[in-house]
A and B are shown apart, each in its own frame.
Chain A
Amino acid sequence: MLDQLVQGFAVAMTPQNLLFVFIGVLAGTIIGILPGLGPMSAIALMIPIAYGMDPTSAIIMLAGVYYGAIFGGSTSSILLNAPGVAGTVATSFDGYPMARQGKAGKALAIAALSSFTGGTIGVVGLMLIAPGLASFAVSFGPTEYFALMVLGLTAVVSLAGRNLVKGLVSAVFGVMIALVGIDSQTAITRFTFDLPELYEGVEFLIVALGVFALAEVLVMLNRRGQGGARGGVTSLRLSRREMALITPPTLRSGVLGFFIGVLPGAGATVASFLSYSMEKRIAKDGDTFGRGNLKGVAGPESANNAAAVGSFVPLMTLGVPGSGTTAILLGALLVLGVQPGPLMLAERPEMFWGLVASMYIGSAVLLVLNLPLIPVFAKVLNTPKAVLVPLVVVFCVVGVYGLSFSVFDLGLLAPSAWSVS
Chain B
Amino acid sequence: MRRITSLFPSTPGHGPTRSRAPRLTAAAAAAAVLPLALSACGSDGGTTSSDGTWAPDRPIEITAPAATGGGWDTLARTSARLLESEGLVEQSIQVVNKPGAGGAIGWAYVAGHEADPHKLFVTSPPILLVPMAGDSEYDHDDFTPIARLATDYMVYLVPADSEMETFQDLVDMVGEGGANIGGGSGPGSMDHVALAGAVDAAGGDAAAASYVPFDGGGEAMTALLGGHVDSAVVGVSEAAGMLAAGELRALGVSSPETVEAFPEIPTLLEQDIDFTFDIWRGVMAPAGLEEAQVAYYEDLFADLMETQAWQEESVSLGWTDAYQNSEDFGAFLDEQRTAYTEILTEVGLQ
Q: Could you tell me which A residues sit within 8 Å of B by CB distance?
A: 44, 47-48, 51-52, 137-142, 182, 184-187, 189, 196-197, 199-200, 264-265, 314, 318-321, 327-332, 334-335, 337, 339-344, 404-406
Which of A141, A196, A318, A343 contacts B101 (CB under 8 A)?
A196
Closest CB-CB distance, A21 to chain B, in whole Å? 22
Residue ID in chain A nearest B241 by CB atoms: A341
- A196-B137 in contact given A139-B226, A320-B218 (Cβ < 8 Å): yes
Binds A, one of B13-21, B70-78, B139-147, B167-175: B70-78
Query: Per a CB cutoff under 8 Å, which of A48, A51, A327, A341 touches B245?
Result: A341
Look across to chain B and name the residue whose beta carbon is closest to the beta carbon of A341: B241
Could you say which of A137, A199, A404 contacts B135, with CB atoms under 8 Å apart? A199
CB proximity of B167 to chain A, nearest CB, Å: 24
Interface: B186 (CB within 8 A): yes
Q: Is the CB of B102 within 8 A of A199?
A: yes
Q: Which residues of A contact B215 (CB under 8 A)?
A: 184
* Per-residue A-contact encoding for B177-193, CB less than 8 Å = 1, 0 else: 00000000011110000
Contact with A along B89-107 (1 / 0, CB 8 A): 0000001011111101100
B218 touches which one: A52, A200, A321 (CB < 8 A)? A321
Q: How many whole Å from B66's CB to the nearest CB in chain A?
A: 10
* B113: Cβ under 8 A from any A Cβ: no
On chain A, the residues within 8 Å of B241 by CB distance are 319, 339-344
Find out whether the CB atom of B104 lies under 8 angstroms from the CB atom of A141.
no
Q: State A343–B242 Cα separation when bound (angstroms).
A: 8
Q: B7 at the A/B interface (Cβ < 8 Å)?
A: no
Residues of B within 8 A of A265 (CB): 219
A51 touches B218 (CB 8 A): no
When distances are taken between beta carbons in the complex, the residues of chain A under 8 Å from B228 are: 141-142
CA distance A406 to B104 in the complex (A): 13
A residues near B313, Cβ cutoff 8 Å: 337
A275 CB → nearest B CB, Å = 24
* Cα distance, A206 to B94, chains bound together (Å): 28
Closest beta carbon of chain B to A107's beta carbon, Å: 34
Nearest-CB residue, chain A, relative to B81:
A51
Decide yes or no whether B303 CB sits under 8 A from chain A: no
17 contacts between A and B (CB under 8 A): A44-B68, A141-B228, A184-B213, A187-B189, A189-B135, A196-B135, A199-B100, A200-B102, A321-B216, A328-B67, A331-B70, A332-B68, A334-B317, A335-B74, A337-B317, A341-B240, A343-B245
> In the complex, what distance in Å separates the CA atom of A184 from the CA atom of B184?
10
- Least Cβ–Cβ distance between A205 and chain B, in angstroms: 14
For chain B, which range describes its interface: under 10, 10 to 19, 20 to 34, or 35 or more residues? 35 or more
Which 8 residue pairs of A and B lie closest in terms of their CB atoms, listed nearest first?
Answer: A331-B69, A341-B241, A199-B101, A342-B245, A141-B228, A138-B226, A320-B218, A196-B101
Other-chain contact of A182, B98, B135, B237, B242 (Cβ < 8 Å): B135
- Which one of B67, B78, B133, B136 contacts A44 once the chains associate, using CB atoms below 8 Å? B67
Nearest Cβ in chain B — how far from A56, in angstroms? 16
Q: Inside 8 A of B189's CB, which chain A residues have their CB?
A: 187
Task: Say whether B108 faces chain A, with CB atoms less than 8 Å apart.
Answer: yes
Is A318 within 8 A of B187, CB to CB? no
In the assembled complex, the Cα of A197 lies from the Cα of B109 at a distance in Å of 12
| Known interface pairs A327-B69, A331-B68, A343-B244; A200-B100 also in contact (CB < 8 Å) | yes
Residue of B nearest to A339 (CB): B241
Which of chain B's residues has its CB closest to A337's CB? B316
Contacts of B86 in A (CB 8 A): none
A342's nearest neighbour on chain B, judged by CB, is B245
Beyond A138-B226, A329-B69, list 8 extra A-B contacts (CB 8 Å).
A142-B223, A314-B222, A318-B221, A331-B69, A332-B68, A342-B241, A342-B245, A342-B247
Using Cβ atoms and an 8 Å threshold, which residues of chain A touch B221?
318-320
Partner of B104, one of A196, A320, A327: A196
**B69 touching A47, Cβ below 8 Å:** yes
Q: Which of A138, A139, A196, A337 neighbours the largest number of chain B CB atoms within 10 Å of its CB?
A: A196
Task: Across the interface, name the chain A residue whose C-beta is closest to B247.
Answer: A342
Q: Does B225 make an interface contact (CB < 8 A)? A: yes
CA distance A184 to B213 in the complex (A): 7
Nearest-Cβ distance from residue A345 to partner chain B, whole angstroms: 10
CA distance A224 to B69 in the complex (A): 47
Chain A residues within an 8 Å CB radius of B68: 44, 47, 328, 331-332
A196, A318, A327, A334: the one within 8 Å of B136 (CB): A196
Separation in Å of the B128 CB from the closest CB of chain A? Answer: 15
Chain A residues closer than 8 Å to B238, beta-carbon distance: 319
Q: A138 to B101, Cβ gap below 8 A?
A: no
Contact A51 B77 (CB under 8 A): yes
From the candidates B78, B105, B223, name the one contacting A141 in the complex (CB within 8 A). Answer: B223
Given A196-B105, A318-B222: A404 and B99 within 8 A (CB)? yes
Query: Can you name the residue of chain A whose Cβ is closest to the Cβ of B240?
Result: A339
Is A320's CB under 8 angstroms from B222's CB?
yes
Query: Given A321-B218, A342-B241, does the pair A185, B69 have CB atoms closer than 8 Å?
Result: no
The answer to whether A405 and B316 touch (CB under 8 A), given A139-B226, A140-B226, is no
Which residues of chain A are near B78, meaning CB under 8 Å?
Answer: 335
Q: How far, in angstroms, from A187 to B190 measured CA to CA in the complex?
A: 13
The listed residue with most B CB atoms (<10 A of its CB), out of A140, A200, A319, A340, is A319
Given A184-B186, A328-B68, A264 and B219 contact (CB-CB distance below 8 Å) = yes
Residues of B within 8 A of A331 (CB): 67-70, 73-74
Closest Cβ neighbor of B248 among chain A residues? A342
B70: which A residues are within 8 A, CB to CB?
Answer: 331
CB distance from A404 to the nearest CB of B (A): 5
C-alpha spacing A341/B242, complex, angstroms: 7
8 Å CB contacts to A: which residues of B144-168? none
* Whole-angstrom distance between the Cβ of A150 and the nearest chain B Cβ: 18
CB closest residue in chain B, given A265: B219
Do the beta carbons of A138 and B222 come within 8 Å of each other?
yes
